[in-house]
Structure formats: C-alpha cells, structure tokens
Amino acid sequence: MSAPETLEGWFALHDLRTLDRPAWESLTRHEREKAVAEASDLMAGAEDVTDAIAGLSAIYTVVGHKADLLMLHLRPDVAHLHDLERKFDQTLLASYMSRAYSYLSVIEVSRHAAPEGTAENVEDSPYIQARLYPEMPEHSGYVCFYPMSKKRLGDDNWYMLDAPQRAELMRDHGRTGRKYAAKVSQIVSGSMGLDDWEWGVTLFSDDPLQFKKLVYEMRFDEVSARYAEFGPFYVGRRLEPHEVGRWLGE
C-alpha cells in the first residue's frame, strides 16, 4: 500500500500567546507605550512580509481562556518562521506573555483532494497553486484553527484503506465544504514529522457562526465520523497592527 503523493506550499506557524495582565499593568505608561509601538511595528512588518520574498501574516485576538493572541505566519521556509518567532520573543510585550500553544506545519494538497475535472498535472492548476500559496481571504474577520489526525484504531484505520476508498471519502468531504465556499475559506496544512497532530485546519470567515455550521455538518461525513480525531479549537478576531494599543487598553 503506497502513500498518496502530496504537494507542499508555504510553511505555517500558529503562535499563540497569553498575556500576564497584572504584570503588564504594573509597567509605567511610558514603558507600555514603548512596548505597544515596538509590537505594532513588528506586526506591521510581518503583515507586509518585509522578512521574505513571499508569504502571509495575520494577527488575531483569541476569544476565551485558551490564549490571548494568535499570530499566524506563512513563509517559504521554516527559518523565516523561526526568525519571526524570535523577533517577537525579543520585544518588551513578549516578556509579559507566555506561550499558550504553537503549531508548525506546511500547507499541503493531496492529489486525491484535487477537484473533479482537474488536469492530471494538478500542480499546474491555478486552483491548486492558490491553495498552496494563498492570499488573505476577503472574509477574514474571524479565524478558527484546530489540529486533527486520522484514526489508526482497529477497523477504523485510515491508513489501511486503499487509495480509491480514501479518494472517494475525501471527495464527499470536499462537497460538503464547497457548500460554504462563499462564507468560509480554509487552509489545510500537514504536520507529520513537524508537530504532534497530523494536520492543521485554519478557517476564515466574517461570521463565526459559519465555523460551527461547517464543522457540525462535516462531522456527519464518514471521513470525519469514522476516521477523524480533533484537537483543541481556537477562535480569534482579526487585530490590525495599529489596534494593538486599543487591545491592551492603552
């Protein structure tokens, strides 16, 4: 049984931080203003991709207790992601934050995930290229990120299915997703050998209710109902670099 061929695009880092609010508020106003300006400049530079020839970055404030900030970076090389991570670590703001979670992966498209009717050389398809090297979706006011894996348990072992079975299950799954194409965009990244789960899914929408509707409906697809295991879900609201001060209450 052979593994399906995959195509890879940009590497992805989901960097989640938690703010020590009492420690932050113990700073003088001058120190806080300096920290805000420094962090805003760094985030603006990341979103303008001043550190690499291509890529994408977006910052989100996380809703709920799991984290306070999600920095999403897509870059051509892991070294770029590591540099962005270290640059933020060196800021004054970062010294008052702790790492809540992080996830390293690479954007991935499997050949059996190509839409019906795609040419044999799927790597030449504009649709595939747009998935491997995405632009920021227009409806990106909110983000939903979660890691997931496929089961390897008894009869429910995804990796023991033959290629046609996997392809048909994924095509059915894709049909469900395409119902939400006008409301939700997604990036799927593979993390085998890079992180603890096997894939990361990043959803974008201006209406977070659509995350619930999409994931709920997909749970009834056999590929999810029978073969999927899910990690924690993180939902965030888009934060522009110039809004960092307002987010921090400055």
Whose CA is closest to 223, among 179, 177, 182, 180?
177
pLDDT tops 60 at residue 129: yes
Kindly report the average pLDDT of the chain as a whole number. 93
Cα angle: 146, vertex 113, 145; to 5 degrees? 10
What's the confidence (pLDDT) of residue 112? Answer: 59
The catalytic position among 146, 180, 227, 234 is 146
98 and 20 Cβ atoms separated by less than 8 Å: yes
Q: Are 231 and 145 in contact (CB under 8 A)?
A: no
Compute φ and ψ for 58, nearest 5 degrees.
-150, 145
DSSP for residue 207: -
Least confident of 74-83, 128-137, 207-216: 128-137
* Confidence band of 163 (pLDDT split at 50, 70, 90): confident
Torsion sign across C-alpha atoms 130, 134, 135, 140? positive
- What domains does the chain contain, in order, with CATH numbers? 6-247 (3.30.70.1030)
Pair 102, 73: CB distance under 8 Å = no
Q: Which carries the bigger pLDDT value, residue 147 or residue 115?
A: 147
Name the band, by pLDDT with cuts 50, 70 and 90, for residue 127. Answer: confident
Strand partners, 236: 62, 143
Question: For this structure, is 146 an active site residue?
Answer: yes
Tell me the residue type at 105: S
Q: What is the pLDDT of residue 79?
A: 98
Top pLDDT among 110 and 148 is at 148
Cα-based torsion angle of the residue sequence 125, 126, 129, 135 in order, rounded to the nearest 10 degrees: -160
Residue 114 confidence (pLDDT) above 70: no
The answer on pLDDT for 167 being more than 60 is yes
Does residue 136 sit in helix, strand or coil? coil
Q: DSSP state, 137?
A: P
Alpha-carbon distance of 110 to 112, in angstroms, equals: 5
- The HSE-up count of residue 212 (CA atoms within 13 Å, CB side) is 3
- Which has more confidence, 155 or 99? 99
**pLDDT tens, 29-68?**
999 999 999 999 999 999 999 999 999 999 999 999 999 9
Q: Could you tell me if 136 and 58 are in contact, meaning their C-beta atoms sit under 8 angstroms apart?
A: yes
Structure tokens at 26: 């113990």
Judge residue 5's burial from the number of C-beta atoms within 10 Å of its C-beta, 0-12 exposed, 13-18 middle, 19 or more buried.
exposed
Cα separation, 211 vs 183, whole angstroms: 9
